[in-house]
Amino acid sequence: MRKLQIKDTNILLAATALAAIASLPAVAQVQRTPIPEQPSLAPQIEIDGSGIATGEGRFPANPLPGGGKVSAARINFSDSSLVIGASQELYRNGGIGSLVLGVTTSDNSLNSSGTGLFLHQAYLDYSTKPFEAVLGRTDVPTQIVTFPTLRGDDLVEFTGVVNPFSIGDNVQEYRYSNQVALTFNKGLRYFLNVHAQHLIDSTGSGGDQTGINSYGITFTYQGVPVLANMERVPEWGFGVEEQEIAGSSGGADTALYGGVVYNIKTDPIDRFDVRFQDTYTTGNTLKAFTSVADSYRAAANSAAMSFRYLHSPFGRPAYQVALTLGLRTYQNVPNSSTFAIALTGIKRLGEGFDLVAQYTYQHHASTSAALFGGQDNNAVQIGFAYTFTDTFNRHIAPRRSLLSLQHQYIPE
Amino acid sequence: MGNNSGLSRRSVLSSLLAGGTATVLGVATADKSANALSNYTSESKVHANWSIPFDPAATRPHWYPRDLPTPGEVIHEYNMEVLLTPHEILPLVQFPAYAYNGIVPGPELRVTEGDWIKVNLLNKTHDFHTIHWHGLEVECEMDGVPFGTQYPVGYNQTFQYLFRAQPAGTHFYHCHQMTNLHVQAGLYGVIIVESPDDPVRKQFPYTRDYTLVLSEVDTNFVEEQINSMQLMGAQMDYMSRSPTMMAKMSGEMMGWFASKDAFMAAIKSGWIPPYVSSMAGKFRQIQPNFFMINGKSYPMTEHISIRSGELIRVRLVGAGMMPHFMHLHGHDFWHVCQDGAPLQNPVRLNTVPVFPGTTSDIIIEGTNPGNWHFHDHSDLCLTNNGASPGGMMTMLMYEDAAAAGFKFNEIITLNS
């Protein structure tokens, strides 16, 4: 689910930024604001980071979708990110203005190092109590449920609406988009998101490679975060997305999607939940795959489900075990379905620092197997993950603090 | 600020045990139409025969604190609800406050020494609270210390305090649960125990009586911490709906232990205390950004009125966590009481230190017509969120200043 607060990023950006600041002359030449004579306030600064590094073994060693090849064994530090945000209160009515910038490491096989940087957050945000406007690049608004795999891009073709304009080389192109989004809320629990996106078009299969190529509406419910392990249904949502795919690539596609998180066992110490999301696309007339990209825009149904057990003695997470299943079938392309499983374990070693491990298996039916490097793919990963967040010059309360949720205070 | 703004806004019930006349006393004997001089005179109303000899028994309670009321004794009954409510310090500046009866400071209570006080505390917040009667000689179970003398009062729970009002003087009350947060958040108020033999009234026949509660708040800290408390409270409320979930509640989850041995056993079982670095990181300093008199910062503080020749009593209460040094321009004054008790000799000052947890009563004589600043001389506390002037400042304003020839009108400045 999309959150207001900044998330994900890369330490390189911070180091580069700090080095740049250190080298500034005494009178820095900065970008002028539209009203340059107005001095700016010292904003609230938030830095969020997440790093994940795993030793990874794949068998058999298969080529990546879209080219390149994954080694049988490698060090994988993709999906690590650093985000820097600045916020300040606006003059009246509790309005908050924010700027967020961030990069994430991507598993881009075209990069000679095997890992590239991807600008995944670059947006401005204006929010008041009942309303939020986002303009820039950020998480796609079509992601309803977050699944408990190690990385956000694991099993991504099952867990959300894929990007039909992506060549398939960089899964970050599924997760982030350029967008204008307006989100209205009721009680900061029910959210109606109306958005138009430019999904990154690396295939040229959109009508316009830089313009709006996808738009839709998403409705979600998000319960009180602290009660996520106690409410029976802490999250659910659904939406519809219209994707303007060029006629030469099978034509426009309509995606209908919905998801839910359901607590099988509501318990502050031993939580057991199931997560489910289904995405059904229709309208595209592709009947055969000539490239990996075709599989992203062909009419299909994707379903993902996970079962997760979280043990939190003393009210704090200690370890988590999860099984995630995915199935994707195509309406018009025979013998092309694929399914996957991921078994994930996480042991918390300290606040935000985890020992992580995951086994994944994915099977492709005969028609698509050649495109994806074989029918059966296995991967084993073990490593560490670290997430942190810090706020400087703190003077703005989190938008979805319990004070806001229960008492409807304007963040001040 | 003055006694005329006290009881009328409060939820006060008075009753007599076994019948009798309900009574709530206040020094409110303040007489606005009293014999204030309209012109300066060199004659003072202060009597010169102040004499309070050393009394080795003075610290002993007049009444045994563990007594119970007997028929015929006066009992003043008050209902106090703890609410979570936005409190406005200044226009456009609010913070989420815990407040007794929804106001900061809480209701000012005035009773006669020896009367009984019954307070029905009802907690309407998702946090725990108590009332500690600071400076009063109550029986131990009425002292309001969570896990020390009573269990803290949870959401929608009540607790009844009953004690005899002693000793006489200016005292205050506050929540003793997570004191650094709950007092900053607004849970404090003043209780004045009056004595018919008050030496201050006898020697300084004052005609008006003001109470100035001094406190400060880090609004960011309070908002952050109250939110954390609400999170915990919400979890507990939700768990309380299910016996199965409540069975999971443990001392470790709350950080509550029946003994040091239980605490040590929890650590051995893997529980990590919140103060160690692996859980707390670096402690975030509390940095007060607003400094208040009676819950308001300058220029929204109420001024003090006086007339030429008039004696007024000002009760200064250090309810917060910082010392304040209250300085009055253009006047010396008499420091007459400390922590409720009369000093052996009044002390002539123009700046009186008010430390946390203390009360200081002063007598001001109207000797110099005009409008005079009365403020904390710790200059940090004369700011509003870093902007000066502001903070802990009010004015001593002569009602007959114009008649005395003073023509300068007060101007509110927010940017010096």
- For the residues B375-397, what does the mean pLDDT come to? 95
Decide which of B190 and A229 is more confident: B190
Q: Is B389 on the interface with A (CB under 8 A)?
A: no
pLDDT at B16: 34
Interface test with A, best of B95, B124, B231 (most A CBs within 10 A): B231
Do A412 and B253 lie within an 8 Å CB cutoff? Answer: no
Of A230, A231, A403, the CB nearest to B227: A403
Do B278 and A395 lie within an 8 Å CB cutoff? Answer: no
Identify the DSSP state of B24.
-
Q: Provide the percentage of residues in chain B whose pLDDT is more than 90.
A: 70
Please name the residue of chain B whose CA is at the shortest distance from the CA of residue A402: B227
Q: Secondary structure of chain A in the HEC alphabet?
A: CCCCCCCCCCHHHHHHHHHHHHCCCCCCCCCCCCCCCCCCCCCEEEEEEEEEEEEEEEECCCECCCCCECCCEEEECCCCEEEEEEEEECCCCCCEEEEEEEEEEECCCCCCCCCEEEEEEEEEEEEECCEEEEEEEEECCCCCCCCCCCCCCCCHHHHCCCCCCCCCCCCHHHHEEEEEEEEEEECCCEEEEEEEEECCCCCCCECCCCCCCEEEEEEEEECCHHHCCCCCCCEEEEEEEEECECHHHCCCEEEEEEEEEEEEECCCCEEEEEEEEEEEEECCCCCCCCCHHHHHHCCEEEEEEEEEEEECHHHCCCEEEEEEEEEEEECCCCCCCEEEEEEEEEEEEECCEEEEEEEEEEEECHHHHCCCCCCEEEEEEEEEEEEEEEEECCCCCCCCCHHHHHHCCCCC
What's the gap in Å between the CA of A15 and the closest CA on chain B? 22
pLDDT at A315: 76
**Weakest mean pLDDT among A19-28, A100-109, A198-207:** A19-28
Residue B9 belongs to some domain of the structure: yes
Do A268 and B248 lie within an 8 Å CB cutoff? Answer: yes
pLDDT at B395: 96
Peptide bond into B69 cis (omega under 30): no
pLDDT at A208: 60
Query: Do both B107 and B55 map to the same domain?
Result: yes
Burial class (CB in 10 A: 0-12, 13-18, 19+), A179: buried
CATH number at residue A328: 2.40.160.10
Do A267 and B223 lie within an 8 Å CB cutoff? Answer: no
| Residue B414 pLDDT level (bands cut at 50, 70, 90) | confident
Residue A1 belongs to some domain of the structure: no
| Domain encompassing residue A352 | 11-24+41-407
Do A230 and B224 lie within an 8 Å CB cutoff? Answer: no
State the average pLDDT for chain B.
88
Residue A412 belongs to some domain of the structure: no
- For the residues B376-400, what does the mean pLDDT come to? 95
| Residue B242 pLDDT level (bands cut at 50, 70, 90) | confident
**What is the tens place of the pLDDT at every residue in A3-45?**
333 333 333 333 444 444 444 444 445 555 566 656 667 899 9
Residue A36 belongs to some domain of the structure: no
pLDDT at A180: 97
Contacts of B374 (CB under 8 A, 6+ apart): B304, B326, B327, B328, B329, B393, B394, B395, B396
pLDDT above 50 for B415: yes
pLDDT at A65: 54
Task: Tell me if A395 sits within 8 A of A44, measured CB to CB.
Answer: yes
**Weakest mean pLDDT among A62-71, A96-105, B61-70, B220-229:** A62-71
pLDDT at B136: 98
Domain count across chain B: 3
Query: Do both B239 and B176 map to the same domain?
Result: no
Amino acid identity of A135?
Answer: L
Please name the residue of chain A whose CA is at the shortest distance from the CA of residue B250: A314
Q: Is B287 on the interface with A (CB under 8 A)?
A: no
Query: Do both B266 and B304 map to the same domain?
Result: no
Burial class (CB in 10 A: 0-12, 13-18, 19+), A374: middle
Residues of A with CB under 8 A from a CB of B: 92, 224, 226-227, 230-231, 266-269, 313-315, 350-351, 394-395, 397-398, 401-403, 406-407, 409, 412
| Domain encompassing residue B143 | 3-26+36-198
- For the residues A277-291, what does the mean pLDDT come to? 92
Strands A253-265 and A270-282, by their bridges, are antiparallel
Of B93, B96, B271, the CB nearest to A409: B96
Question: B99 - beta bridge partners?
Answer: B83
Interface test with B, best of A272, A387, A400, A409 (most B CBs within 10 A): A409
Amino acid identity of A96?
Answer: I
Q: How many CB atoms sit inside 10 A of residue A369's CB?
A: 17
Residue B238's H or E segment, with its range, is helix B219-239
Residue B18 belongs to some domain of the structure: yes
Please name the residue of chain A whose CA is at the shortest distance from the CA of residue B245: A267
Burial class (CB in 10 A: 0-12, 13-18, 19+), B354: buried
Tell me the chain A residues in contact with residue B253 when contact means C-beta distances shorter than 8 Å.
Answer: 268, 314-315
Tell me the whole-structure pTM to 2 decimals.
0.83
Interface test with A, best of B227, B263, B286 (most A CBs within 10 A): B227
Contacts of B149 (CB under 8 A, 6+ apart): B140, B141, B142, B143
The B residues from 106 to 145 touching A (CB cutoff 8 Å) are 126
Peptide bond into A313 cis (omega under 30): no
- CA torsion, ordered A330, A331, A334, A335, to nearest 10 deg: 30
Interface test with A, best of B223, B267, B279, B385 (most A CBs within 10 A): B223
* DSSP per residue, B172-224: EEE--TTHHHHTTTT-EEEEEEE-TT-HHHHHS--SEEEEEEEEEE-HHHHHH
Query: Do both B261 and B306 map to the same domain?
Result: no
Interface test with A, best of B95, B235, B249 (most A CBs within 10 A): B235
Of B94, B238, B245, the CB nearest to A412: B94
Of A314, A402, A407, the CB nearest to B252: A314
* CA–CA gap between residue A65 and residue A153 (Å, rounded): 14
Scan for tokens 């219209």, then name that residue.
A242
Query: Do both B254 and B327 map to the same domain?
Result: no
Q: Is B37 on the interface with A (CB under 8 A)?
A: no
Please name the residue of chain B whose CA is at the shortest distance from the CA of residue A226: B231
What's the gap in Å between the CA of A1 and the closest CA on chain B? 21
Residue A35 belongs to some domain of the structure: no
Query: Do both B187 and B248 map to the same domain?
Result: no
At residue B342's C-alpha, the angle toward residues B341 and B346, to 5°, is 145
Residue B210 belongs to some domain of the structure: no
Tell me the chain A residues in contact with residue B126 when contact means C-beta distances shorter than 8 Å.
Answer: 406
* CA–CA gap between residue A379 and residue B386 (Å, rounded): 57
What's the gap in Å between the CA of A287 and the closest CA on chain B? 52
Question: B306 - beta bridge partners?
Answer: B398
Q: Secondary structure of A192-239 in the HEC alphabet?
A: EEEEEEECCCCCCCECCCCCCCEEEEEEEEECCHHHCCCCCCCEEEEE
Task: Tell me if B322 sits within 8 A of B183, measured CB to CB.
Answer: no
Residue B110 belongs to some domain of the structure: yes
Residue B268's H or E segment, with its range, is helix B260-268
What's the gap in Å between the CA of A26 and the closest CA on chain B? 26
Residue A273 belongs to some domain of the structure: yes
pLDDT at A24: 42
Tell me the chain A residues in contact with residue B219 when contact means C-beta distances shorter than 8 Å.
Answer: 412
| Residue B45 pLDDT level (bands cut at 50, 70, 90) | confident
Adjacency order of strands within the sheet including B371-376: B304-306, B393-398, B371-376, B324-328, B351-354
Domain count across chain A: 1
Residue B254 belongs to some domain of the structure: yes
Query: Do both B159 and B232 map to the same domain?
Result: no
Sign of CA dihedral B333, B339, B342, B346: negative
Of A224, A268, A409, the CB nearest to B239: A268
Residue A259 belongs to some domain of the structure: yes
Task: Tell me if B106 sits within 8 A of B59, measured CB to CB.
Answer: no
pLDDT at A170: 82
Residue A34 belongs to some domain of the structure: no
What's the gap in Å between the CA of A86 and the closest CA on chain B? 17
Residue B414 belongs to some domain of the structure: no
Identify the DSSP state of B112.
E
Strands B188-194 and B109-112, by their bridges, are parallel
Please name the residue of chain A whose CA is at the shortest distance from the CA of residue B218: A395
> With a cut of 0.90, is the ipTM above it?
no
pLDDT above 90 for A159: yes
Do B235 and A227 lie within an 8 Å CB cutoff? Answer: yes
Query: Do both B268 and B123 map to the same domain?
Result: no
Q: Provide the percentage of residues in chain A whose pLDDT is more than 70.
A: 81
**Weakest mean pLDDT among A400-404, B79-83, B131-135, B255-259:** A400-404
What's the gap in Å between the CA of B231 and the closest CA on chain A? 6
Of A224, A351, A407, the CB nearest to B84: A407
Residue A142 belongs to some domain of the structure: yes
Query: Do both B13 and B137 map to the same domain?
Result: yes
Query: Do both B268 and B168 map to the same domain?
Result: no
Query: Do both B193 and B158 map to the same domain?
Result: yes
Query: Do both B129 and B239 map to the same domain?
Result: no
CATH number at residue B331: 2.60.40.420
Cα distances (Å, whole numbers) of residue A175 to A158, A160, A202, A293, B127: 12, 9, 14, 16, 40
Q: How many CB atoms sit inside 10 A of residue B230's CB?
A: 23
